[in-house]
Amino acid sequence: GLLYTVAPLLILGELMIEINQLLNKEKDEALLFVKKVYIESKDESYSENGIETFCNFIDNKEITKSFKVYGAFEDNILKGVIATDRRKRHINLFFVDKSSQAKGIGKKLMNIVTDDNENSFITVNSSRYAVPIYEKIGFIKTEEEKEQDGLKFTPMKLILKDEVKGQ
């Protein structure tokens, strides 16, 4: 009988990913996950100062308490996180576990933010690593890479509605 319980989960090789909004303790765990993935994704654009800035940002409860945080779970294991401001106008965090990237998890997380979104566009400050990922989703660079407190990022935005009609 075991085979039958496993089979439905393997729909065309697509992972069964569950997306949930995270609160309280789950939100804290998600922030720890983000820190881990951030450090694992380290490349030449990172600096000691930048890593410290990022970790301080993640640890700042005053900042993160207003975040809307969603987690992607595979077999109850957290594989990805997206966080926005209350009104879903800006993506504060978007991280998928390195071993789970390119499997459509990020896309599902992004859909949670873009579906039923009242705004005409969404902004993000992308890490160098994530720029091509955001571009694939349809984001465009609004400025070249900048640096603040040792953190390098590229401001980008995704147009959701034709701004004229959207008014």
Indicate if the pLDDT at residue 2 is higher than 80.
no
pLDDT in tens, 84-134: 999 999 999 999 998 888 888 999 999 999 998 999 999 999 999 899 999
As a whole number of angstroms, the distance between CA 49 and CA 36 comes to 17
Strands 146-148 and 140-141: unpaired
pLDDT at site 143: 97
> Average pLDDT in the 11-23 region?
77
> Average pLDDT in the 47-57 region?
94
What does the block give as tokens for 81? 């996180």
